[in-house]
């Protein structure tokens, strides 16, 4: 019993150094039972030969739109009709641009246009290219048209830079495809993950290791998630403000993990020095009231609201128009309460699944559960802050205790915030599914 049995997959390979991984991906898909036909762009052929893919798949590799012999064997329309799914890995910036704009200037883009098959894209490019607004807009356009994006992954790139842009490992792509097609993994997935390739010279032993993503079997595909992150800033006068130590790292890590799990993410953030994760729609705000407005504007389309921001509970009652002079020996600032953004969303009649955060220095469970009940949340994630050697605020690491009704509890062990974020999303996904039954 193979997870991709009888699935007809066109594997598109565009130009990029990551195309060497596509040979392993082809084998992984075949190992999982899929029938694979490969289309390579001219760019891809500069990195890897069609012969390699032909040997691995046992089928002729398609490269030219205007090749009469190839067209006579299996024409591009026939190939487009044959495919149940088209998976393009790597998908270069150029390929995304051509697809997003409906080009049909080579075999791969033409088959995509002519096919009713579902489209899956595993982008791979330099991190600055991936961040470029033009690339982000193209990727977003394709998502809006129903394509599914796998990755990109973060880490060291072939160009020597570090960031988001690497193609996901073949095993992770195969597992995400299996998830998206709604196939129950069964026991054979573990078998596939550990099964060595018999022949490929390009494969390293690391390629057989399941990546972090490969262990996630839940999906947020198609869900809209609104996340708040970072601190809010409450002005005193034109040069001074009150704020807090939140760096935004936890909220940004959740946004990034949610994109990887297939969600559409709106990230509303106070002032932070962080790069926007790819495909995330970011809205910058300063004060709690700005954040409240941005949340209310975006909440109607949200399935899930995750309130990670450290929102100032109070603001200055009267903001001085001019810089306050230090004429008196002391001064008193009159503060007034800010709106509780999370509680206001949770009180809506048509509300999304609401997840709060709590940063507590003591009695963590008691205070966190108190907020869960008082704000009428579906779930709360508590971090124990203020402990020696465990800063949480500004740190790359965290651990969480997640609470929900009826004594529900899950401990997320200390790890990098991006791993903690992925685990938290798995719990949210599970609880959301339960709440809908
Ligand atoms: O940004 P980092 O440096 O990575 O740090 C992450 C974090 C510690 C800030 C984060 O993990 C966290 O715990 N955020 C919540 C901080 C907090 O203590 O919140 P709170 O107890 O004041 O509020 C409880 C919940 O209500 C939170 O979800 C908060 O976003 C929300 N809230 C609070 C006040 C308010 N006026 N509006 C709100 O929406």
**Residue 2 resides in a domain:** no
Which of 166, 193, 220 is a domain's end point?
Answer: 193
Residue of 289, 311, 369, 414 to mutate, ligand 1, most atoms within 8 A of C-beta: 311
CA–centroid distance, 209 to ligand 1, in Å, is 36
The dihedral of CA 212, 309, 399, 221: what is its sign?
negative
Atom of ligand 1 at shortest distance to CA of 417? 4
Per-residue pLDDT of 39-87, as tens digits, reads: 999 999 999 999 999 999 999 999 998 777 777 767 888 999 999 999 9
Residue 159 among the catalytic residues: yes
Do 356 and 241 fall within a single domain? Answer: yes
Q: How far is CA 190 from the centre of its chain?
A: 24
Q: Show the tokens assigned to 50.
A: 């069609």
**Residue 3 resides in a domain:** no
pLDDT at 191: 24
Number of domains composing the chain? 2
Q: Compute the residue count for the chain.
A: 437
Do 234 and 183 fall within a single domain? Answer: no
Cα(246)–Cα(271) distance, rounded to whole angstroms? Answer: 10
Q: Show the tokens assigned to 304.
A: 């899930």
Query: 82: domain CATH number?
Result: 3.40.50.1950
Do 397 and 251 fall within a single domain? Answer: yes
User: Greater confidence, 155 or 148?
Assistant: 148
pTM of full prediction above 0.75: no
**Residue 371 resides in a domain:** yes
Do 332 and 371 fall within a single domain? Answer: yes
Per-residue pLDDT of 335-378, as tens digits, reads: 999 999 999 999 999 999 999 999 999 999 999 999 999 999 99
**Residue 171 resides in a domain:** yes
Name the catalytic one among 46, 134, 156, 159: 159
Cα(20)–Cα(144) distance, rounded to whole angstroms? Answer: 29
Atom of ligand 1 at shortest distance to CA of 248? 1
Query: 284: domain CATH number?
Result: 3.40.50.10300
**Residue 160 resides in a domain:** yes
CA–centroid distance, 358 to ligand 1, in Å, is 6
CA–centroid distance, 310 to ligand 1, in Å, is 4
Q: Are the beta carbons of 256 and 277 closer than 8 angstroms? A: yes
What range does the domain containing 342 cover? 203-435
Do 373 and 303 fall within a single domain? Answer: yes
Long-range contacts at 55-63 (CB < 8 A, ≥ 24 apart) = 56/23, 56/26, 56/27, 56/30, 56/200, 57/11, 57/26, 57/30, 62/37, 62/38, 62/107, 63/39, 63/107
At 290, the pLDDT band (50, 70, 90 cuts) reads very high
pLDDT at 57: 95
Atom of ligand 1 at shortest distance to CA of 310? 16
On average, the pLDDT of the chain sits at 88
Q: Per-residue pLDDT for 199 more than 60?
A: no
Q: Per-residue pLDDT for 197 more than 60?
A: no
């Amino acid at each position: 019993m193979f997870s991709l049995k009888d699935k007809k997959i066109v594997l598109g390979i565009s130009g990029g150094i990551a195309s060497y991984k596509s040979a392993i991906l082809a084998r992984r898909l075949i190992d999982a039972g899929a029938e694979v036909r490969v289309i390579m762009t001219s760019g891809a052929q500069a990195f890897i030969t069609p012969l390699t893919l032909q040997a691995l798949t046992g089928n002729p590799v398609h490269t030219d739109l205007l090749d009469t012999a190839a067209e006579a064997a299996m024409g591009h329309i026939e190939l487009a009709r044959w495919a149940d799914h088209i998976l393009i890995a790597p998908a270069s910036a150029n390929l995304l641009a051509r697809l997003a704009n409906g080009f049909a200037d080579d075999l791969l883009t033409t088959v995509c246009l002519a096919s009713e098959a579902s489209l899956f894209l595993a982008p791979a490019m330099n991190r600055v290219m991936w961040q470029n607004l033009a690339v982000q807009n193209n990727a977003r356009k394709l998502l809006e048209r129903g394509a599914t994006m796998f990755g990109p992954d973060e880490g060291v790139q072939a160009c020597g830079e570090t960031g988001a842009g690497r193609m996901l490992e073949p095993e992770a792509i195969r597992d995400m495809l299996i998830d998206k097609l709604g196939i129950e993994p069964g026991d054979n997935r573990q078998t596939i993950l550990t099964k060595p390739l018999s022949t490929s010279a390009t494969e390293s032993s690391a390629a057989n290791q399941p990546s972090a993503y490969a262990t996630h079997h839940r999906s947020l595909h198609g869900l809209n998630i609104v996340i708040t992150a970072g601190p809010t800033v409450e002005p005193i006068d034109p040069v001074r403000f009150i704020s807090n130590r939140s760096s935004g790292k936890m909220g940004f890590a959740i946004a990034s993990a949610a994109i990887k799990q297939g969600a559409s993410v709106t990230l509303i953030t106070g002032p932070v020095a962080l790069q926007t994760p790819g495909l995330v729609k970011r809205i910058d705000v300063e004060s709690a009231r700005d954040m409240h407005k941005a949340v209310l504007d975006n909440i109607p389309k949200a399935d899930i609201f995750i309130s990670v921001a450290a929102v100032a509970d109070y603001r200055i009652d009267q903001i001085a128009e001019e810089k306050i002079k230090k004429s008196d020996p002391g001064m008193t600032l009159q503060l007034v309460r800010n709106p509780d953004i999370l509680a206001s969303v949770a009180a809506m009649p048509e509300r999304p699944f609401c997840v709060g955060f709590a940063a507590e220095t003591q009695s963590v469970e008691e205070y966190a559960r108190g907020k869960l009940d008082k704000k009428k949340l579906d779930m709360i994630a508590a971090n124990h802050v203020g402990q020696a050697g465990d800063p949480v605020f500004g740190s790359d690491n965290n651990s969480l205790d997640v609470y929900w009704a009826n004594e529900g509890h899950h401990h997320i062990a200390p790890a990098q915030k991006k791993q903690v974020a992925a685990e938290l999303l798995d719990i949210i996904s599970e609880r959301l599914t339960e709440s809908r039954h």
